[in-house]
Amino acid sequence: MRSWTIAGTLDVVPAAERPDLLGEPVAKALRDLGVDTEVGAVEIDPDLADTEQFCETYGSPLDASANCVVVAGKRAGEVRYAAAMVLATTRADVNNVIRRRLDVRKASFAPMADAVAQTGMAYGGITPIGLPEDWPVFVDTAVAEKPELVIGSGTRNGKLLVSGELLATLATAEVTDGLAKPII
């Protein structure tokens, strides 16, 4: 397994060695992709899973963290879901870019209960790896270009270390320019 420079004070192991740190759909997807020995996994305090707290506590750079945002919108009475991967230093453009890509009149963050039920993952740990197969995953260009990222693992007691390239090559991924705006 590769050496990860963004792990801060955490010990990184191959995800395959710590399935207890992964949501069930995440573990299955990593195995199916054949990358469960390449992707890194770290154990964290579940109370420190939120990005800023995680980075501050464990010494991982904020600009190497990417957040997965679950968005929902309706079209002809049908609810459409999507995920957006943006750097932690940015915000997803839900009202313009994502709304247009989903082809809905109005898009918003999916309610927590819906996001958890639809993904089978813990809120605060939702990740694009293992999402429902009919969901588009919009990956901001800046995320796709990062050689190392910290993302959710499907649980609140773990994080994954991946490359942006891996996220950009997920089956339903769409690398999207302008998906995120800097936080001012």
pLDDT at 2: 84
Q: Looking at domain 13-176, what is its CATH homologous superfamily? A: YbaK/aminoacyl-tRNA synthetase-associated domain (3.90.960.10)
For residue 102, is pLDDT > 70?
Answer: yes
What local confidence, expressed as pLDDT, does residue 180 receive? 96
The mean pLDDT value of the chain amounts to 96
pLDDT of residue 150: 98
pLDDT, average across residues 85-108: 95
Q: Does the pLDDT of residue 101 top 80, yes or no?
A: yes
pLDDT in tens, 139-174: 999 999 999 999 999 999 999 999 999 999 999 999
Quote the CA–CA distance of 14 and 64 in Å, as a whole number.
19
Domain ranges of the chain: 13-176
pLDDT of 62 > 90? The answer is yes
Average pLDDT over residues 123-132: 97
At residue 1 the predicted structure's pLDDT band, cuts being 50, 70 and 90, is confident
**pTM of this prediction exceeds 0.85:** yes
pLDDT of residue 184: 67
Element housing 87 (H / E): strand 78-87
Looking at the chain, the whole-number percentage of residues with pLDDT higher than 70 is 99
| Alpha helices, DSSP H, located in the chain | 24-33, 51-58, 99-102, 112-119, 141-144, 164-168
For residue 96, which phi and psi values (nearest 5 degrees)?
A: -115, -75
Rounded CA-CA distance 62/55 in Å is: 6
Find where tokens 């740990």 sit: 125
Give residue 137's pLDDT. Answer: 98
**Two tokens at 179?**
């998906």
